Structure 1
């Protein structure tokens, strides 16, 4: 079953690929600038509100994406089966779900598709306020020096394709997370921001790890 949050997330992904924010997309579509803002996506009791068909069609026209293509993409999205905990609901009233970097080694933070889930996530202030499955990580160690200092934040988006030279986060439960840049050479290796760590860190094969692309940073 497709949910309202699935529609919002798919629209956000298309907009980001074209360098548009929610408000920028709304303005380009001739709509009120707040139409697609996260603050307007929540309904009664904190449930996600469905996007109107008229607004969706105008947005897809700007994004040069046919409705049939958009719908087909939704049908192919991996959904958690019944009995498996769903992704986090959107944060109502501003902020994003997030955790300090040092907390990312614990079990149960992501579902099998790399989407944040569970009760360990905290509501954090962030100027971007992107909806789940995007999440924010607060840098609370010196593992990212000298590129990112303690107190900075990074926003990540599960499901976004990772390419060479992308800034990424690798999370392996039970291990220290790695933040760095994807190497241009195979096999996949991350060059950590922490230059004192020495050689790059290989990306594990198979399941049990999560590799997410950093889409925004804050000082």
Structure 2
């Protein structure tokens, strides 16, 4: 029997099989890039949201796959976002996949990211205007890349560096995070702690000491925060 999880898992696996992210698969099929975002898989009240048969038909056409192959992917037993072994797929009659599987994530210049329309309420990529960049194998969907523009993220990140941001990854003390305020550009800080009303961070500048390194921001002034999990420097 098809389940909500197995159908979404099959979409993720079909994207990986073709060297794409779910957003890249949607784009290739002529769909909105956010069609298969994790935030679209559950309704606001917690009810499971299923992909439409039209969207499934379009991704099968775009990848030259057939329905039997898609159904085989639903039975692979993997959770969406997990690494998939080639043996798991060949057991269901699907051709071998090379490991590690290629992966790309959506890419946006950091100077553009402060404008509206690029992120949903959870900090996941939204809408058009994104490019894609190949990266080492990552786990899960929803990760994206920002290309640093200017010197606003010095001393850790220079103009031209690429940072990978993960809205789904738990943030811990000492992690580097992206902060999206209601207005203004994205900022990068070091996470200290979060209360019910405040976010406490430290400067990236290791030379700053005491209160000069600390910043407290009201959560009511922030759209979202997300952890930086990888950077090319």
> TM over 0.5, yes or no?
yes
Q: What is the aligned partner in structure 1 of residue 19 from structure 2? A: 39
Does 2:201 align with 1:190? yes
Q: What is the aligned partner in structure 2 of residue 53 from structure 1? A: 75
Given the superposition, is the C-alpha separation of residues 40 and 195 from structure 1 closer, same or farther in structure 2, using an over 3 Å criterion?
A: closer
> Would you say how many aligned residue pairs link Structure 1 and Structure 2?
164
Q: Is contact 1:173–1:209 with CA below 8 Å preserved after alignment?
A: yes
Query: How big is the shift at 1:194?
Result: 5.1
Q: Is contact 1:169–1:211 with CA below 8 Å preserved after alignment?
A: yes
Does 2:150 align with 1:147? no
Please identify which structure carries the higher strand content: 2
List gaps (5 residues or longer) in structure 2: 26-58, 85-101
Given the superposition, is the C-alpha separation of residues 151 and 184 from structure 1 closer, same or farther in structure 2, using an over 3 Å criterion?
A: same
Does 135-144 or 196-205 show the bigger shift?
A: 196-205
Q: Distance in 1 between matches of 2:232 and 2:174?
A: 19
Q: What is the aligned partner in structure 1 of residue 177 from structure 2? A: 168
Which protein is bigger by CA-based radius of gyration? 2
List gaps (5 residues or longer) in structure 1: 12-21, 23-34, 63-92
Deviation digits for residues 73-92 of structure 1, max 9, x if unmatched? Answer: xxxxxxxxxxxxxxxxxxxx
TM-score by length of 1: 0.57
Given the superposition, is the C-alpha separation of residues 36 and 135 from structure 1 closer, same or farther in structure 2, using an over 3 Å criterion?
A: same
Query: How big is the shift at 1:150?
Result: 1.3
Does 164-173 or 42-51 show the bigger shift?
A: 42-51
RMSD: 4.1
Given the superposition, is the C-alpha separation of residues 99 and 175 from structure 1 closer, same or farther in structure 2, using an over 3 Å criterion?
A: same
> Which runs of structure 2 are paired with 1:1-219 in the superposition (5 Å)?
2=4, 7=9, 39=19, 42=25, 43-46=59-62, 51-56=73-78, 95-120=104-129, 122-128=130-136, 130=138, 132-183=141-192, 187-193=198-204, 198-206=212-220, 209-219=223-233
Query: How big is the shift at 1:144?
Result: 1.6
Query: How big is the shift at 1:56?
Result: 1.5
Q: Is contact 1:101–1:138 with CA below 8 Å preserved after alignment?
A: yes
Query: How big is the shift at 1:2?
Result: 4.1
